[in-house]
Amino acid sequence: MPQITYREAIRHALAEELTRDPNVVVMGEEVAQFNGAYKVTDGLLATFGPTRIVDTPISEAGFIGLGVGASMLGIRPVMELMFWSFYSVAFDQILNNAANVRYMSGGQINCPIVIRGPANGGTNVGATHSHTPENVLANHPGVKVVVPATAYDAKGLLKSAIRDNDPVFFLENTILYGDKGEVPEAEYVIPLGKADVKRVGADLTIVTYGRCVIHSLKAAEVLEKDHGISVEVVDLRTIRPLDFDTVLASVKKTNRVLIVEEQKPFASVGTQLAYMIQREAFDDLDGPIHRLATIDAPAIYSPPVETEQLPNPGRVIKAVLAAMA
Amino acid sequence: MSKKPSAIADIKAESAVKATDYALAPINAALSPTQRIELYRTMIRIRRFEERSLRAYQGKNPSGGTNIGGFLHLYIGQEAVAVGCCSLMGKNDHVITAYRDHGHAIAVGMDTKPLMAELYGKITGCSKGKGGSMHYFAPDKNFWGGHGIVGGQIPLGTGLAYALKYQGKKGAAMAFMGDGAVNQGAVHEAYNLASLWNLPVVFVIENNGYSMGTSQARSSAGQLAKRAEGYNMTWGQCDGHDVYEVRALMDKHLTLAREQSRPSTVEIDTYRYRGHSVADPDNTYRTKTEIEEYRNKKDPIQVSLHKLLAEGVLTETLADQIDAEARAEAESAADFAEASPYPTPDDIQKDVYWESDHPAQRKSEGRLFFD
């Protein structure tokens, strides 16, 4: 099976869906002539032309709102946010209009829009560019939220997202863009709302998603080798809809849970998970639910310190040992 | 709200609105007597609907509770704007507006029964009681709301125009906003995109002089529509008390959109007699004299009635009959709303996701809802 990068996997998904459905339009800042700020859309303009691959001004509220409006008439816009951090300037369009218009119209309208782009810290760009808003987004009924960790997942999930009839917010990761993984040449899709057990284990379940999956897998290897602890890693892949059955099955098997997330702790995705686990698996737990999150402060710039502010394999190992103690 | 039984009795002295070339434009000259009467009828239907909804708001339901909750932004005084603009709609023309949306909803042809039921929060409402006064929608009539956040609908309207152009349809989007919305950033972002990409949209500023309780002089620098020049768009302005003036100006701008795929901005001067919403006591920012001045000299329904009588298109008897029918329609809408059931708690989680509303076609897995 060919190895391609996470970036290429997303590009292939875009290209396949652009080919399959003439209503799909890719739109965003620098996506066309510049070939993408992070080169995700590299070459798409040459293949599909300026009607399908559209450069926008730096005007997130304007162009995201335009995409929402166009989606009400059946266009399937795939909007790139250069950083998901910029969602704050388009908040009204994303979370009032896209999220609510179906409900407020009594189900007469749907918005088949995808908004995608990177949402991560760890690149020393400071607090304004390092937001991870998946909890904020998922707090809004009506939207779907996807956070892929691997090239294979990114491609299959993005194809599903583009075909979905609800608004889907797709959160990528600049640090993962260059990571290679096996991706089949034959077409495939991965349904939204389906978690994936990335590593089978017996002693403790790590529930995680996004780049923290990679940290957790690295930590799990060390824990197995150095400490004899067998860790199961459950990758949620989609935050909403949530495949809680897979989480529950793993927790009932290992009886111990650590949630790992690149989120600020207060009211995070992990907060919701912890509530649900205690509610539905209380008697299966051999200890309290543990969580490893980003250290609770705005993203620090200082490069070596930012690495320590975020979850990383070393911090995951410590957190697992604490949970097993 | 008029307490007088006859529309004719409302007629005051000669209208202060003077006919311009606009009013004599071919688009108006071409109107048949029936079409002229229909414009009048739609305006008076809006007026009577609004008056009836206000009475419902102020009254109590049989259990002693409120009939209508939240806000109620009445369109009384502004009828000629929505009616004039929407009377020009072709099959590929689309409309979107802000929260003062009842007039547009009636003008695009929505039935007043589900509109009134929506105010009452009933399941028979146009949005099943989930949207309320500010959130009327009728995609089947190319009406895309009804939006609560000032200026937030303008990028959406620009997106409607983008879709028309992308799909190769010869049509136009009319994106309505109030005079307060011109100071919102989203409006300017939409102006820029529309002009940059040659989108067939007409931005319609309904200038009633007040952004809530702040007058135009206290909130906006310069002429509102002139801001279009900064985005290389043409703009126009007209008196919005005369439905013919509105039609003539809008026809020009809609033609520009449909034929040349160019956006433009129009500013239509109008006036609301009621407060910003029913929650506005309306005693801090304008005088009663000012309101009376508009009522007596520029009321769009009186202006229209006066013309139709002068033209011999309408007789006093017919005018009274149209008014009586409009009152009866509003009453019947209120009866329908009162008699309709509320949504049930089971309805709360319907119409959230397309997928959960179409379980047989659902492709995603996992939990969509949480408790």
Are residues A108 and A202 both part of a single domain?
no
Give the end of a domain, one of A157, A182, A207: A182
Give the end of a domain, one of A151, A182, A213: A182
Q: Examine residue B115 and state whether it is found in any structural domain, yes or no.
A: yes
Are residues A8 and A109 both part of a single domain?
yes
Q: Residue A226 maps to which CATH number?
A: 3.40.50.920
Does B149 reach chain A within 8 Å, measured CB to CB? yes
Does B370 reach chain A within 8 Å, measured CB to CB? yes
| Number of CB pairs, chain A paired with chain B, less than 8 A apart | 196
Q: Examine residue A253 and state whether it is found in any structural domain, yes or no.
A: yes
B16: pLDDT confidence band, cut at 50, 70 and 90? low
Residue B138 per-residue DSSP state: B
* A151 has a pLDDT exceeding 90: yes
**Which residues on chain B are in Cβ contact (under 8 Å) with A102?**
351-354
Are residues A123 and A257 both part of a single domain?
no
pLDDT (0 to 100) of residue A1: 87
The whole-number average pLDDT for the span B267-281 is: 93
Are residues A249 and A318 both part of a single domain?
yes
Q: Kindly state the tokens that stand for B301.
A: 């329904």
Q: pLDDT exceeding 90 applies to what percent of chain B?
A: 90
Half-sphere exposure of B25 (CA within 13 A, CB side): 16
For helices B316-339 and B300-311, what crossing angle results, to 10°?
Answer: 140
Are residues A135 and A205 both part of a single domain?
no
Are residues A131 and A233 both part of a single domain?
no
Q: Examine residue B261 and state whether it is found in any structural domain, yes or no.
A: yes
The whole-number average pLDDT for the span B236-244 is: 96
* B5 has a pLDDT exceeding 50: no
Rounded to whole angstroms, the Cα distance separating B366 from B369 reads 9
Contact between A83 and A118 (Cβ < 8 Å): yes
- Please tell me the total count of domains within chain B: 1
Q: Examine residue B73 and state whether it is found in any structural domain, yes or no.
A: yes
Q: Examine residue A189 and state whether it is found in any structural domain, yes or no.
A: no
The whole-number average pLDDT for the span B299-316 is: 94
Pairing assessment for the beta strands B210-211 and B214-215 based on DSSP bridges: antiparallel
Domain containing B22: what range?
Answer: 8-210+221-272+303-337
- Contact across the interface for B193 and A108, Cβ inside 8 Å: no
Mean pLDDT of chain A: 98
Contact between B119 and B341 (Cβ < 8 Å): no
pLDDT (0 to 100) of residue B266: 98
The yes-or-no answer on residue A261 being catalytic is no
Instruction: Among B95, B351, B362, B371, pick the best mutation site for testing chain A contact (most A Cβ within 10 A).
Output: B351
Domain containing A111: what range?
Answer: 3-182
B20: pLDDT confidence band, cut at 50, 70 and 90? low
pLDDT (0 to 100) of residue B24: 78
* A252 has a pLDDT exceeding 90: yes
- Contact across the interface for B130 and A71, Cβ inside 8 Å: no
Q: Residue A64 maps to which CATH number?
A: 3.40.50.970
Does B159 reach chain A within 8 Å, measured CB to CB? yes
Q: Which of B258, B255, B199, B256 is nearest to B231 (CA)?
A: B199
Q: Examine residue B362 and state whether it is found in any structural domain, yes or no.
A: no
- Contact across the interface for A243 and B366, Cβ inside 8 Å: yes
Cross-chain CB nearest to A62 (options B129, B138, B192): B192
Are residues A37 and A100 both part of a single domain?
yes
The whole-number average pLDDT for the span A260-275 is: 98
Are residues A18 and A127 both part of a single domain?
yes
* B14 has a pLDDT exceeding 90: no
The whole-number average pLDDT for the span A141-147 is: 98
The yes-or-no answer on residue A60 being catalytic is yes
- Please tell me the total count of domains within chain A: 2
Contact partners, residue B117, CB within 8 Å, separation at least 6: B124, B125, B126, B129, B333, B336, B337, B340
- Contact across the interface for B155 and A242, Cβ inside 8 Å: no
Half-sphere exposure of A155 (CA within 13 A, CB side): 23
Distance from CA of A66 to the nearest CA of B (A): 4
Are residues A146 and A209 both part of a single domain?
no
Residue type, B289: T
Does B128 reach chain A within 8 Å, measured CB to CB? yes
Q: pLDDT exceeding 70 applies to what percent of chain A?
A: 100
**Which residues on chain A are in Cβ contact (under 8 Å) with B163?**
69-70, 72-75
Give the end of a domain, one of A182, A209, A232: A182
pLDDT (0 to 100) of residue B1: 38
Q: Examine residue B357 and state whether it is found in any structural domain, yes or no.
A: no
Q: Which of A151, A157, A133, A117 is nearest to A241 (CA)?
A: A157
Q: Examine residue B361 and state whether it is found in any structural domain, yes or no.
A: no
Pairing assessment for the beta strands A204-208 and A231-235 based on DSSP bridges: parallel
Phi/psi of residue A78, nearest 5 degrees? -110, 105
Q: Examine residue A191 and state whether it is found in any structural domain, yes or no.
A: no
Distance from CA of B168 to the nearest CA of A (A): 12
Q: Examine residue B61 and state whether it is found in any structural domain, yes or no.
A: yes
A76: pLDDT confidence band, cut at 50, 70 and 90? very high
Residue type, B302: Q
User: Which chain A residue lies closest to B166 (C-alpha atoms)?
Assistant: A51
Burial class (CB in 10 A: 0-12, 13-18, 19+), A102: buried
Residues 196-215 of B with CB under 8 A from A: 196
Q: Kindly state the tokens that stand for A213.
A: 């999956």
Are residues A104 and A203 both part of a single domain?
no
Transcribe A193-256 into DSSP letters. T--EEEE--SSEEEEE-THHHHHHHHHHHHHHHHH---EEEEE--EEESB-HHHHHHHHHHH--
* Per-residue pLDDT tens over the stretch B155-210: 999 999 999 999 999 999 999 999 999 999 999 999 999 999 999 999 999 999 99
Q: In Å, how far from its chain's centre is CA B2?
A: 20
- Contact across the interface for B366 and A75, Cβ inside 8 Å: no
H or E element that contains A79:
strand A76-80
Residue type, A29: E
Cross-chain CB nearest to B352 (options A93, A141, A164): A141
The whole-number average pLDDT for the span B134-150 is: 97
pLDDT (0 to 100) of residue B21: 65
pLDDT (0 to 100) of residue B61: 86
B6: pLDDT confidence band, cut at 50, 70 and 90? very low
- Contact across the interface for B156 and A243, Cβ inside 8 Å: no
Cis peptide leading into B300, omega within 30 of 0?
no
The whole-number average pLDDT for the span B70-83 is: 97
Q: Examine residue B290 and state whether it is found in any structural domain, yes or no.
A: no
Cross-chain CB nearest to B139 (options A67, A92, A108): A108
pLDDT (0 to 100) of residue B7: 45
Q: Residue B48 maps to which CATH number?
A: 3.40.50.970
Are residues A135 and A7 both part of a single domain?
yes
* Per-residue pLDDT tens over the stretch A106-132: 999 999 999 999 999 999 999 999 999
Residue type, A39: K
